[in-house]
Amino acid sequence: MFNFLKNLLKIEPKKEDIPTEKLNQWFNQKTEPFYSKLNTQLIDVFGSVPEQINEIKTNITNLENASIKDEEKIEPKVKQVVLGNRVNYIRVLSQFIDEVEIPQKIDYETSNNFCSKITEKLDELSKNTGKSFYTVQHLFPNQVEALAKNISNISKSAKSIKAVIEKNKIQKIEALRGLLADMDRARKEFESVSERVGGT
């Protein structure tokens, strides 16, 4: 643990005698600045996400209201297929947007959850819109291209959030926090057993 903190802080840590029962409190104090720094960076990265969501909503409306160029030259059957796929494409995109929840409080835990959920939703979106995407693109290329760019930006934001977390080594800190919690539980169980044995 001390070696990890030494590498993290880039300094030689002072040796301290810390009572076992206060180890969690000591660890929290030492690592709190890293969480504060992380939160500031995460808020900055999240800043563009609401705008990206609004752009998708706008471009969904644009696609929904778009007219077919040179419609009289398009075969009725082709038009019917494309328009049917447009309805499906818009429906799936709208559902995706409705399910995107930007956390009210931005920190390590909420950001990590956001990345996991948005990545899962993006995978589902890709699977559910593959056919519609290419079909609708035949008659509405500009609108579909704009939406594809929007989705790509959302994906990039999720990757940026994950990269910020990894850069700050918070996952390693969380792993150590978990070990300390296990140690604390073991200590309390040992003390409880010792008290029972001593009382008999």
CB-neighbour burial class of residue 169 (10 A; exposed 0-12, middle 13-18, buried 19+): middle
Domain presence at residue 80: yes
pLDDT for 61: 97
Cα(106)–Cα(114) distance, integer angstroms: 10
pLDDT for 30: 84
Domain presence at residue 114: yes
> Residue 156 sits in which domain range?
2-186
Number of compact structural domains in the chain: 1
Domain presence at residue 78: yes
Is the pLDDT at 10 greater than 60? The verdict is: no
Domain presence at residue 193: no
Position 7 confidence tier, pLDDT thresholds 50, 70, 90 = low
DSSP H helices in the chain: 2-9, 23-46, 49-65, 76-99, 108-136, 141-167, 170-199
Domain presence at residue 194: no
**pLDDT, mean of residues 68-79:** 90
